[in-house]
Structure 1
């Protein structure tokens, strides 16, 4: 285990959480930044103490009957343990290895925090090239935009950097405009098996922007669609020149993608553009995208740059910089909104901090697997990435529960996990439910997972992990054009109902 001056304590993490408790208003395209929808923040950070309300009932019947009643196809594997002692309360096929989906982010969280430290921030800088200087508004030399791997960088942040350069008097440069994205390895997409237009599956680089998504809008008038691409945020709508899209006369596929000559090229089926609309599409060449947007932002402020060149260069004089939130706040949002790019950037940064040279997600995830086994005694993990998006990742719920018990003793992870809302028979949030749950969900088509902590009122805390997976059905629908295959929504609904039934059952058994 690596420890340095930024080693963790429960107090330092909670202080960071409280300092960053004001979460930005989140996106709904087209007018806001491309962040996933917000959920309500918890009023408390670390405590698991539900309000008074309806009493818990002691369950009757066998676990097998509960699982059968759920009506789920495929396999379901579950375990509940005493969160303090690790003693098993109930289990079913707990050693079956299944995809964890986004519950993997709970593992990445402590890997990143313990390795990088609570004070770590991702930093994006604008620098001069070696020997360059500004004279009478002209930079005599190169201008460098250097990424620090920040997965949360947005257009408004770049706009502030551009404004700061103009305030310093910069109007033009005589040299090159260099984009250095070498802080992290360049990865074209997290999981090649995902639908081509899935915005949750972008590329990754040392310089990222808008969660590596580009805004695609279309306005339909008189039977014709006008298409546009931009990198909009709350205050800025810069156009994008390195990514284009055109409508093609066809029905399927709805989208195609290609990268040629340094440009990303999309096509969309004209038959899908019947009325005006918008969506975010994934960016596969993030550094080129960010450099292009920064150039447009400076041009709008009267400072002209040449086209960006992707290159690694030595550090120069810092002209302006943007620093992300401290890592606890970044990871808290990652767990709340399940942002895949944040998990991957944090995981890669942690592996690189350990002195491991990696060129892809799988080797970095292998280090995560080993680290969790070494530190928390949770062996047998086989993650292929840090977000859980790759279907090939495998865990057992027994290993996940072992990790949750060990991580809880540090007093950090429960406060980072979001409140998991329990619901009544009509699906409405139940604010006075006798069990409070903090957990991470995970969803792929025909895979549904939930892992975390449950605190029955007046009872002992429980650590649990639940995964339902119908992998043959997932495989059979892989070629479907839809990003949500037929039957997947109903299947996931049944899986989530089962998850609540199990938590209530375990609270009754152990409370």
Structure 2
């Protein structure tokens, strides 16, 4: 691009004026990888909310530090004597940042224990979430927004069983609304008697949703629904409503019984004994495989899980008061090793679902530039949404020069939007680009401006 080119391209500036965006609302940097010194930049050093573009930095550091083949794992361990199928001590379920530990995976672990000869668990079951510090970030945490029960808001832990969520199936008819849990674990009930069936499009069912009330006692957990739901509509929605320890306990009891086992004693939280013996293991797919899905659909809980694993894997993890602080150090250590100034970085959970996280376009562009030269660069690029084709970019940039030629991580919050990644221009040169907008109604006003910038860069010859 010619040196005299104005920092903000004319079509982008015109669109900013049309959407009443001030020049200070936009920050970006873009350069061809074969000519990084010839860059187009505006406020490139300014620290701004990255929204979910933050996930690309977490993913980059994880691929380099943990490796594309790193696999989280869940272990079942036995404590005490095992004789004639009777385990005198506890059976321990220990979490290890396994991104794919769902109900079926739990059943497989318990089945392995039965096949290893365990029948009766006299010492109960202990759930060990202590790979991260604190073990339960969700306890007492302030909600991010007014919908804490929806999956994007879930705070992961080291076990992360089914993401801490349970599926609610809702069916509306002319006269009432029916609800049931799936799976239907015993001790967990749901009452939809107060929900009103209304005339509304099924796709807009959330418009009538109200946060349910939850009551737990010795008999189990009862969830009471309220609000409205469309007639002739069926929805299956994962929700984070039931305390994860109660949810895990119900699942373990029922699955162990279904496998022909007996369980005496309580299901509690705690650490595995140092001499506990390994009984069964479940491993997640390699990082490069599940990162692809997490990045394309911008999965907050899975990225937060990865961020925490970076902290747990830090060589000096024990020196920090929390795993999140260790994860922050992991990102900063990596940036400094690459010669990237980290002063613009403010971390919270590594996913961008935060009002406090900050980074500059220059910082993130530097990380993307380094990543492009790494052996795992293809794994990173394949994880990024492809413009106009898949993930969070499936419906964006269609019919522009960037369609199918840009791989970009999107970011959206109420007051922040962004794009970060790579694109090919009209001469098939690869570019790094990071662009952020921070303003009110950012999705409505800023997203068209970002798309115009990407389209302009992709059209360069």
TM-score, normalised relative to structure 1? 0.73
Equivalent residue number for residue 401 of structure 1 = 365
The answer to whether 1:466 aligns with 2:435 is yes
> What are the superposed Cα offsets for residues 338-363 of structure 1, whole Å, 9 maximum, x if unpaired?
22122122221221221224565752
**Could you say what secondary structure the match of 1:297 adopts?**
helix
2:201 alignment partner in structure 1: none
Q: 1:87 aligned to 28, 37, 42, which one?
A: 37
What are the residue-to-residue correspondences of 1:57-76 with 2, within 5 Å? 61=10, 63-70=12-19, 75-76=25-26
- Could you tell me how far 1:147 is from its partner in structure 2? 1.4
Distance 1:214 1:310 in 2: 20
State the match for 1:138 in structure 2: 86
Residue in structure 2 matched with residue 486 of structure 1 by the alignment: none
Aligned partner of 1:450 in structure 2 is 419
Report if aligned partners of 1:79, 1:88 keep a CA contact under 8 Å in 2. no
Separation in 1, partners of 2:361, 2:211: 37
> What is the match of residue 356 of structure 1?
317
Tell me which residue corresponds to 1:268.
225
The 1:165–1:222 alpha-carbon spacing in structure 2 relative to 1, beyond 3 Å, is: farther
Aligned partner of 2:349 in structure 1 is 385
Summarize the alignment of residues 149-164 of structure 1 with structure 2, pairs less than 5 Å apart: 149-164=97-112
Q: CA RMSD in A?
A: 3.4
Residue 370 of structure 1 pairs with residue 332 of structure 2: yes
Provide, for residues 228-265 of structure 1, a one-character-per-residue CA deviation record: whole Å limited to 9, x for no partner: 223xxxxxx35163x65444758998114568669776
Match of 1:192 among 138, 143, 150: 143
1:421 aligns with 2:369: no
Distance 1:101 1:302, change over 3 A: same
Kindly indicate whether the alpha-carbon contact (under 8 Å) linking 2:163 and 2:301 is maintained by their aligned counterparts in 1: yes
SS of the residue corresponding to residue 368 of structure 2 reads helix
Is residue 302 of structure 1 aligned with residue 260 of structure 2?
yes
Q: How does 1:241-280 map to 2 (within 5 A)?
A: 241=187, 245-247=190-192, 249=194, 254-256=210-212, 266-272=223-229, 276-280=234-238
Cα deviation, residue 208, structure 1: 1.0
1:209 corresponds to 2:161: yes
Partner Cα distance (2:127, 2:151) in 1? 24
Greater shift, 281-290 or 257-266, is seen at 257-266
Relative to structure 1, the CA distance from residue 436 to residue 264 in structure 2 (aligned partners, 3 Å threshold; closer, same or farther) is: farther
Larger CA deviation: 95-104 vs 114-123: 114-123
The answer for the alignment partner of 1:175 in structure 2 is 123
SS in 2 for 1:187: coil
Between stretches 405-414 and 332-341, larger displacement belongs to: 405-414
Equivalent pairs, count: 424
Residues 111, 347 of structure 1: 8 Å contact kept: no
Aligned mates of 2:225, 2:78 — CA distance in 1: 40
Q: 1:182 to 1:61 in 2, by over 3 A?
A: closer
Cα separation, 2, equivalents of 1:494 and 1:163:
53
Asked if structure 1 preserves the Cα contact closer than 8 Å seen for 2:402 and 2:459, the reply is no
2:426–2:459 CA contact under 8 A, matched in 1: no
- Shift in Å at residue 177 of structure 1? 1.5
- Sort the Cα spacing of 1:94 and 1:302 in 2 relative to 1 into closer, same or farther, 3 A: same
Q: Give 1:148 deviation, angstroms.
A: 1.3
SS at match of 2:56: helix
Task: Give the TM-score taking structure 2 as reference length.
Answer: 0.80
Instruction: Find the aligned partners of 1:112 and 1:257 in 2 and give their Cα distance.
Output: 38
1:239 aligns with 2:203: no
**Residue 278 (structure 2) pairs with residue 318 (structure 1):** yes
Q: Deviation digits for residues 152-179 of structure 1, max 9, x if unmatched?
A: 2111111212222333443322222111
1:13-162 matches, within 5 Å, as 61=10, 63-70=12-19, 75-129=25-79, 131-135=80-84, 137-162=85-110
Mean Cα deviation higher: 71-80 or 204-213: 71-80
1:435–1:455 Cα contact (<8 Å) kept: no
Gaps of 5+ in 2: 1-7, 197-207
Q: Corresponding residue for 1:436?
A: 405
Name which of 267, 271, 281 aligns with 2:239: 281
Structure 2 CA distance, aligned partners of 1:221 and 1:508? Answer: 52
Equivalent pair of 1:218/1:273 in contact (CA under 8 Å): no
What SS is found at the alignment partner of 1:80?
strand
Work out whether residues 369 and 382 of structure 1, in 8 Å CA contact, stay in contact via their aligned partners in 2: no
**8 A Cα contact 2:151 2:240, kept in partner:** yes
Mean Cα deviation higher: 414-423 or 245-254: 245-254
Alpha-carbon shift at residue 87 of structure 1 (Å): 2.2
**Larger deviation, residues 202-211 vs 273-282:** 273-282
**Offset from partner CA, 1:301-340 (integer Å, 9 cap, x none):** 2223244111112152222111111222232232122221
